[in-house]
Each structure stands twice: as structure tokens, then as C-alpha cells.
Amino acid sequence: MPLAPSKMFFRLLLRAATVRRGRTLTALLAMAVAATLATALLSIYGDVSGKLGGDFKKFGANVIVSAPEGMSAAQIAELERTAGTSVTGLPSAFAVAKTASGKPVVVVGTDFIAAQKMDSFWSVTKWPSAAGEALIGSRAAGVFSAEARPSLEFNGKQYEVKQKYSLHTGGDEDSRIYISLGDFEKWTGLPPTVLELAIPGSADEIGTVLQKMRAQLPQGTTAQPVRQIVEAQAKVMDKTRFILLLSAIAITLTVALCVLATLTASVLERRKDYAVMKALGSSQGAVNAIFIGETLSLAILGSIFGFAAGCALAEWIGHTNFHAAIVPNIGVFPPVLAGCVLVALVSAVIPLTLLQKTEPAAMLKGE
Amino acid sequence: MFLTLLYQSFIRQRRRKLLAGLAILLGMTVTTAMISVGVDVGDKMNQEIRSYGANILVYPQADTLDVNVGGVQMKPASDGAYLKESDLVQIKSIFWGHNILGYSPMLSVNVKVGGVGSPVEMIGTYFAKAIPLEQETFVTGVTKTHPWWKVEGAWPGDDSNAVLVGQKLAAHLTAHAGDNLYIAGKETKVAGILTTGDKEDDAIVAPLAMVQKIAGLPNDVRRVYVSALTKPEDDFARRDPASMSPAVLEKWSCSPYANSIAYQIQGAIPGSRAEQVRKVAQNEGVLLSHIAGLMWLVTLAALGAAALAVSASMATTVFERRREIGLMKSLGANNAAIVTLFVSEGSILAIVGGLLGFGLGLMMAQRMSKAVFNEPLTVQPALLWVILFAALVVTLLGSLASIRRAMRIDSAIVLRGDGA
């Protein structure tokens, strides 16, 4: 009993795959490896900004809002909201106080919890957590000499440091004394005048946020990007992404060409099957459908396996290099699948057009 | 006989050999390009990251505390100690002198400016000063150490009497590039308007010599910003040099850590204290190692892709020649002879493909380097041997499976034409 054409088609596909198992597996493997590399590179390329963004954030604030007249807590909260979700600012208040021996020293009132997050490069013996505790910059430590509980004077009011911890940064901070903002306001009555913000994103995104912020700032208050940080970040990020893109293109082209060569060869090898089918009276369309169907199913299977393996590879690279996973991105799958299908189509169509020009009889004779 | 076989194989199967050779060529091109770029990217990125500016700060050991709030210096100008400008050239003479990309001395003085009530800070520094060294001339200044400073107009010459006016101060004075200002009682030309996003926006920045003259402090500077190429910090780098034995200290000094470069600068300039700027030095190391690590992993991926390309094409060539192998066997060739033939063929392809791939890969790497960093690539000649070796290994490994299959071929079946 003759089989239905569609059943026959699938049977031909299946038999072609199982009879020549070795060759099919080689072709499938080539396809899958190509898809793996493409998936991994695309995932990394897509996520590298996010991953390096974490590194850039450690450079500290990239926007500084300064209000010579001072800022209220409500104003700070509003600025943080404009800056973006989950952005916490670091408010600071400044005063020049005198030590017991009459030497001037800059005292800064700040939010230690926010500072710990934003300024991870600060080297401290311990972050203060209670009232009366202070961070003494390494150069400022000299003004206190040996006093265990030194006191500071501002506008006739005294402030006693109950517990000293040391701070070292190699920058301006080394000549200052940091106390908690609560203590500072109680002691001096001065509000915070500076708000440091670490806004995530590229230079352009930061620029947009700055525009929005400037629109809502009261008279006399300014918001400025820390150009040192923002410009260097843009430069380094652009270069990294560019070089990664070039590498990804070079590697993907190589594997695509190699898959193309393998598949083309495997179709050409089967010119006898082709000739037999034609000799048995199958139409050109049917033969084309069978051969194209074969390479297409290879492409689809290969891209699915490759996508899974590529996600795993990207995640491994994320862990080894950034100590954070590169999350599988389903958006990478469509381009990978499309690429595989395209390569498969080309590698079936080229040999088929070549074969079409030859007589089946000549092929069967082995010429 | 063997050579004839080999020769004929290449002549008769010109197209097949060309294809296999092309696959090796392509694979090795990508490998060469990626390895060259990967090796170089650490150095190149280190240069890029230097756009974060100075990572080492030098100041007088006996200096008093800085008292500045919001860029307003409250310390009396007479207070504190100074470094000698004439000593600064020593910075380039330290062991890691070549890693010093630039340094900028700073000296501030408060001056009266026509049109402003309160005194204005005037900062003296180098812009792009040519320092004669023994063998070369070293150009240094804020253009090297503070690359984010932007000038509208022109940078003043280091020997000129022209100044830069900070952007906020210029807005207050409605001053433009080319105007004249009365600074400390003298008419001075404004070369440009300076934007930094920092305290310099409210100040005047002038050539160092001019500020030294106004302050009456010839040859004095207050602090020096140094930009140096450094190695990411590890546990060894954080050790205190004072507690090291001479042998360990030597090893420590011979690594370009920010700490050891600072230590050497401190030794070279009398009465100075040099420190790494932790904000820059600590973080750039992490960033750099992440980028370099990423490039290495991508290079590995390139190697994998190349291996795949080569081995796939080698597998097909043997498979297609199973009849030939059957004929050789039936004529009395043993397995050793067949293996030798295939290995020799593969090696010739690998060497030719590897050589050409190396050349093409270098050109490609050169292009990439030009496109990304706008700088030529430093070529490592030793890489040629690595590439040739890799090409041989990948080609032979790729043909291994098919050679084994070739050895198992039954000549009678193959010659009858019933598959392999």
C-alpha cells in the first residue's frame, strides 16, 4: 500500500538521518557549536554594560547637586526619585571647626550607610554606627595628637568625639573629619549643602536625568556631572563594547562559513540519492523539499541545543569573570535561529542548483 | 613513490585541498587576530582607563591640613610646606619612569580680579610643558593628567602670560576667550574658558611660572598629580614596605603597583609624601582585570570556532576519499603508509594555512586596533610559532577520527561502492 505523501516525506527525512548517523551527527554538532558561540557572544555583548556598570559604580558619585542655602530632607527625597529607582543620594554638610588647640579642620556631616555603599574605595578601620563616633582622615589625625576623646568647637558650641575610627582615601577626604549627619545638624544647626548621586546608565542617560533634575531645582542650586567619572566611563565602555562586537562578528562569520562548508559537502555527497529519486520520477520540487527539509531540521535542532549550551557558556563566563551570572536572554534566540536557518538554506540551495544542471543518468554512472 | 602520491593528491584534488586550506586559513586568521588583540587589550585599556586622571598624589610631608569647603581654600596662603619644582623631573627617573604618563604640579594663590569683590583662587600648573630628559623630551601637564578638562578657546602656552577662566567665574564676569582681565593688578589675556565640573570652574588656571611670580614663591609647588600605568592591586601590593625584608622589598618595587610607584616617587623627591588616590587606583584595577578577562574568554571562543572549522573540513576530505584508500589497501598499502600520507597532507595544509592565516590575522588585528583604539598594534613575532603549532594540532586532531575510520576501511566493500 503506498504511503501518503506527507508520511513518505517524514520517513525519508528520518531515514536519511538515522542511516547516515555519523554524518548527521557531525553536521548537527557543527550547527550546535556555531549556535552556542553566537548565543554566548550575543548574551555577553547585551549584558556587558550591566556587568561593567557595577565596576563603574564603584568609582563613586557621578552627579553632584550643590545648594549653598541647604537642602531639606523632602528636597533630597524628590531629587533621588528623579535620579531613578533605587538611587540613594549621599547628603553632606560642611563646617570649619576648631580643635582644642585652635587649629582649623573641616568637619563633614554625612550619611554613613549611604557613604559605605557609594564610596567603597574608602579604607576605614570600622564604619561608625552610633552617635558620637567619627571617621578621622589620615592627615587630619595629626591635629588631635593623643587625645582619646577630642572635642571640636564651632560657633562656641562643643562637640565631643566619643570613638575615633581612621579613614584613608588618598584624596581630599584625608584632611577631614566625618561625623553622622544627625550629630552634625544637632551640633551646628547647618543643613546639608551637597548631595552626591550615583546614577546608573550611559553618559547620554545621565545627561537626560540631569536635564530633568535641573528643571525642578530651586534658584541657586546646581546639578553637575562629575566629568572625570562620566567621561572616562563612556570612553571605556564604548571601546569595550566595540571590540567585543568586532570579535563577535569575526567569530560568528567563521563558524557560519564552516557550517556552510560542512552542510554543502554533505548534500553534494548524496548526489546518488538525488539521482535515484529523480530517476524514479520524483519532481524537482519534491526533491528540493526533501533536501531543504533535512538541512532545515538540522538548523532548528542545532539552534535549540546551541541556545541552551550558549546560555550555559555565557553564565559560566559571567561567573568566572564578573562573579555574577549573565542571565539567559530569550531575545537572543530569534536572531540565532534566523542565522542558523539562513545558513542552512544557503547550504542546501547552492548544491541543489549545481545538481539540477546534471543528468541523473550521468550521476548514477558515477561521473 | 610517497612524494609522488602526495604531489598528485594536491594536483588532482586542487579544489578540495583549496577548500580545506581555506578553512584552516580562516580559523587561523581569526585566532591570530583575537590573540593579538587579546594580548594587547590589557595595555590599551590601561591607557584608556587613565582618562580617569591622576592615580597618585604627591604633597609635602610637612604640609599642614587642607581647609577647603566647596572649593574655597581657607588655609592662609603662607601656611604649609612646598615641594621644589626643580625636583619634579626626578619622577621620570624612578625605576618605573616609563610608566609615568604625565604629572601636573599645582600651586594656588588668592588674587584680586577686576569685577569680583572677593578674592579668587588662581591655580598655577603645567598645560603641556616640554621637560627635557636625558634622551627625550617629555610633554606633561593637565592635558595628560586631567583629560576631562575642556577648554573653549585655546590652551595657554606654559611660558605665556595668558590664563584660563573657570566656566562659572567666566559667566559671572561675562568674560570670553580673547578678552582681557585685570588679575592681581595686571592686564592679562584670557586664552580660553575652562569647564571641569569641579572647583576649577570658579577659579583661574594659569601657567605655573606666572602664579609663582605673583605668590613670590619661585620654584615652589603645593602638590603634584601623577598619572601612571599600574598593575591591578593584589594582596602582595597592599603590604607595608617598611616591614619587608630587602629581597621582598625589591620584588615589590619591581612590580608596577600604584603603591610601589608612589613609594619610589616619595624616595625620589626630597621631603615629599606620595599616595595612591584610592578612588581611581583601587577601582581601575578591578575594571581592567574584568575587561582583560572578558577578552581572554572571547579569544578562547575564537579558538574553539577555529578548531571546529578546521576539523569539520578535515573530516570531509578523508570521508570523500574512501575509494582511493580502498584502492591503496588492495594494492598492498599498510595502515602506516596511509596514516603517513594523510598526516603529511594535513601538515602541509596546516603550515601553509597557518602562515597565510597569521599574515591575514595580523592585518585584521591591526584594523581592529585602529578602529577601536585609533592606535597601531604591537605585534608579537613569537605568536607565529604559537599559531603554526595550533594549526598543526587542530588539523591533525580534526583528521584523527576520520584517519581512524580510514584504517578500518574494507577495500572490497568500498570499491564495490556500498558506502563506508
Whole-complex ipTM: 0.77
Q: Span A44-66, mean pLDDT?
A: 83
Q: Is residue B343 part of a domain?
A: yes
Residue A347 has pLDDT above 90, yes or no: no
A80-90 confidence digits (pLDDT tens): 888 887 788 89
Whether B191 and B85 map to the same domain: the answer is: yes
Task: Enumerate residues 6+ apart whose C-beta is below 8 A from A5.
Answer: none
Q: Is B261 on the interface with A (CB under 8 A)?
A: no
Q: Span B24-44, mean pLDDT?
A: 83
Q: Is residue B321 part of a domain?
A: yes
Whether B35 and B115 map to the same domain: the answer is: no
Query: How many CA atoms within 13 Å lie on the side-chain side of B194?
Result: 29
C-alpha cell at B307: 578548531
d(CA B21, CA B351): 9
pLDDT for res B73: 62
Q: Is residue B365 part of a domain?
A: yes
pLDDT for res B91: 92
**Chain Cα centroid distance, residue B3:** 49
Residue owning grid cell 542552512: A344
* Contact (Cβ atoms closer than 8 angstroms) between residue B28 and residue B354: yes
The one-letter amino acid code at B122 reads M
Q: Which residue of A has its CA nearest to B58?
A: A170
* Residue A299 DSSP SS3: helix
Residue A219 has pLDDT above 50, yes or no: yes
Closest CA to B228 of B205, B255, B251: B255
Task: Enumerate residues 6+ apart whose C-beta is below 8 A from B418.
Answer: none
Angle between helix B2-12 and B14-49 (nearest 10)? 80
d(CA B86, CA A276): 92
**Structural domain ending residue among the three candidates B222, B255, B275:** B222
Q: Widest CA span of chain B, in angstroms?
A: 108
C-alpha cell at A276: 535515484
What DSSP assignment string belongs to B21-70?
HHHHHHHHHHHHHHHHHHHHHHHHHHHHHGGG---EEEEETTPPPP-EET
Residue B419 has pLDDT above 50, yes or no: no
Q: Which among B33, B287, B295 is the nearest to A250, CB-wise? A: B33
Binary contact (B278, A171; C-beta < 8 A)? yes
Residue B292 has pLDDT above 70, yes or no: yes
Closest CA to B194 of B145, B159, B156, B139: B156
B60-73 confidence digits (pLDDT tens): 987 777 776 665 66
Whether B119 and B207 map to the same domain: the answer is: yes
Q: Which residues in chain A touch residue B74, judged by CB atoms under 8 angstroms apart?
A: 96, 104
Binary contact (A170, B276; C-beta < 8 A)? yes
Q: From the CA atom positions of chain B, what is the Rg in Å?
A: 33
Closest CA to B170 of B147, B191, B146, B145: B191
What DSSP assignment string belongs to A74-113?
HHHHHHHHHH-TT---EEEEEEEEEETT--EEEEEEE-HH
Q: Looking at residue B136, what DSSP letter applies? A: S
Number of domains forming the structure of chain B: 2
Closest CA to A167 of A213, A252, A108, A232: A108
pLDDT for res A147: 67
d(CA B342, CA B167): 74
pLDDT for res B145: 92
User: CA B186, B192, B196, B202: dihedral to nearest 10 degrees?
Assistant: 30
Q: Is residue B259 part of a domain?
A: no
* Contact (Cβ atoms closer than 8 angstroms) between residue B57 and residue B223: yes
Q: Which residue of B has its CA nearest to A224?
A: B197
The DSSP bridge partners found for residue B205 are B123, B164
Residue B225 has pLDDT above 90, yes or no: yes
Dump strand ranges (E) for B196-313.
204-207, 220-221, 223-228, 272-276
Q: Which of A225-234, B14-23, B86-95, B289-298 has the highest mean pLDDT?
A: B86-95
d(CA A22, CA A248): 30
Whether B212 and B348 map to the same domain: the answer is: no
Q: Span A100-129, mean pLDDT?
A: 88
Q: What are phi and psi of B72, to 5 degrees?
A: -95, 115
Q: Which among B69, B297, B372 is the nearest to A106, CB-wise? A: B69
Q: Which among A34, A250, A261 is the nearest to B19, CB-wise? A: A261
Q: Which of A31-45, A184-198, A253-267, B401-415 has the lowest mean pLDDT?
A: B401-415
Residue owning grid cell 548574551: A43
C-alpha cell at A21: 548517523
d(CA A318, CA A51): 8
What DSSP assignment string belongs to A147-208?
-SS-EEEETTEEEE--EEEEEE-SSGGGGEEEEEHHHHHHHH-PPP-EEEE---S-HHHHHH
Closest CA to A356 of A265, A257, A283: A283
* Contact (Cβ atoms closer than 8 angstroms) between residue A42 and residue A244: no
What length does chain B have?
420
Q: Is B295 on the interface with A (CB under 8 A)?
A: yes
Q: Is residue B260 part of a domain?
A: no
Closest CA to A318 of B39, B301, B294: B294
Q: Is residue B265 part of a domain?
A: no
pLDDT for res B123: 93
Closest CA to A277 of A367, A352, A341, A350: A352
Q: Which residues in chain B touch residue A248, judged by CB atoms under 8 angstroms apart?
A: 298
The DSSP bridge partners found for residue B68 are B73
* Contact (Cβ atoms closer than 8 angstroms) between residue B184 and residue B209: no
Q: Span B335-339, mean pLDDT?
A: 83
Closest CA to A134 of A153, A150, A117, A154: A150
pLDDT for res A238: 85
B167-186 confidence digits (pLDDT tens): 989 998 888 898 898 888 88
Q: Which residue of A has its CA nearest to B369?
A: A243
pLDDT for res B380: 79
Q: Span B405-414, mean pLDDT?
A: 74
pLDDT for res B11: 76
Whether B100 and B207 map to the same domain: the answer is: yes
pLDDT band at A28 (very low <50, low <70, confident <90, very high): confident
d(CA B256, CA B237): 9
Q: Is residue B234 part of a domain?
A: no
Binary contact (B368, A106; C-beta < 8 A)? no
Binary contact (A232, B23; C-beta < 8 A)? no
What length does chain A have?
367
**Chain Cα centroid distance, residue B408:** 53
* Residue A220 DSSP SS3: coil
Q: Which of A58-67, B133-142, B261-270 has the lowest mean pLDDT?
A: A58-67
Note down the domain range covering B298. Answer: 2-46+286-416
Region for residue A102 given its phi and psi (left: phi exceeds 0; alpha: psi -120 to 50; beta: otherwise): left
Parallel, antiparallel, or unpaired for β A90-99 and A194-197?
antiparallel
Domain regions of chain A by residue span: 5-55+235-365, 63-225
Q: Output the CA–CA distances (angstroms, integers) from residue A74 to A8, A78, A115, A222, in the order listed.
A: 75, 6, 19, 17
Region for residue B175 given its phi and psi (left: phi exceeds 0; alpha: psi -120 to 50; beta: otherwise): beta
Query: How many CA atoms within 13 Å lie on the side-chain side of A320?
Result: 15
Residue owning grid cell 557613604: A115
Burial class (CB within 10 angstroms; exposed 0-12, middle 13-18, buried 19+) of A115: buried
Whether B348 and B309 map to the same domain: the answer is: yes
Closest CA to B119 of B76, B81, B87: B76
C-alpha cell at B48: 584608556
Q: Is residue B304 part of a domain?
A: yes
Residue B420 has pLDDT above 50, yes or no: no
pLDDT for res B318: 66
* Contact (Cβ atoms closer than 8 angstroms) between residue A49 and residue A237: yes
The residue of B372, B375, B416 whose CB has the most chain A CBs within 10 angstroms, and thus the best one to mutate to test that interface, is B372
Q: Which residue of A has its CA nearest to B276?
A: A170
What DSSP assignment string belongs to B189-221?
EEEEEEE-SSGGGGSEEEEHHHHHHHHT-TTEE
Q: Span B49-63, mean pLDDT?
A: 85
Q: Rounded to 5 degrees, what angle do the CA atoms A188, A192, A193 make?
A: 120
Binary contact (B294, A122; C-beta < 8 A)? no
**Structural domain ending residue among the three candidates B222, B251, B266:** B222
pLDDT for res B317: 66
Chains A and B: how many Cβ contacts under 8 Å? 206
Q: Is B288 on the interface with A (CB under 8 A)?
A: no
Q: pTM of the entire structure?
A: 0.78
Q: Span B219-243, mean pLDDT?
A: 87
Q: Which of A132-146, B141-155, B217-231 has the lowest mean pLDDT?
A: A132-146
Q: Which residues in chain A touch residue B195, judged by CB atoms under 8 angstroms apart?
A: 227
Whether B307 and B185 map to the same domain: the answer is: no
Whether B87 and B211 map to the same domain: the answer is: yes
Q: Which of A9-18, A90-99, A236-245, B70-79 has the lowest mean pLDDT?
A: B70-79
Whether B145 and B21 map to the same domain: the answer is: no
Binary contact (B277, A169; C-beta < 8 A)? yes
Binary contact (A103, B298; C-beta < 8 A)? no
Residue owning grid cell 570523500: B320
Closest CA to B72 of A104, A276, A34, A161: A104
Residue owning grid cell 581630599: A172
Burial class (CB within 10 angstroms; exposed 0-12, middle 13-18, buried 19+) of A21: exposed
Q: Which among A66, A106, A239 is the nearest to B48, CB-wise? A: A239
pLDDT for res A341: 92
Q: Which of B214-218, B219-223, B233-237 has the lowest mean pLDDT?
A: B233-237
Neighbours of A101 (CB within 10 A): 10
pLDDT for res B308: 74
What average pLDDT is seen over chain B?
Answer: 84
Q: Span B19-23, mean pLDDT?
A: 79
Residue owning grid cell 567666566: B170
Whether B292 and B173 map to the same domain: the answer is: no
Q: Span B224-249, mean pLDDT?
A: 86
pLDDT band at B158 (very low <50, low <70, confident <90, very high): very high
The DSSP bridge partners found for residue B206 are B124
Whether B191 and B95 map to the same domain: the answer is: yes
Whether B185 and B290 map to the same domain: the answer is: no
A150-203 confidence digits (pLDDT tens): 888 888 888 888 888 999 888 888 889 999 999 999 999 899 999 999 888 778
Q: Rounded to 5 degrees, what angle do the CA atoms B247, B253, B259 make?
A: 130
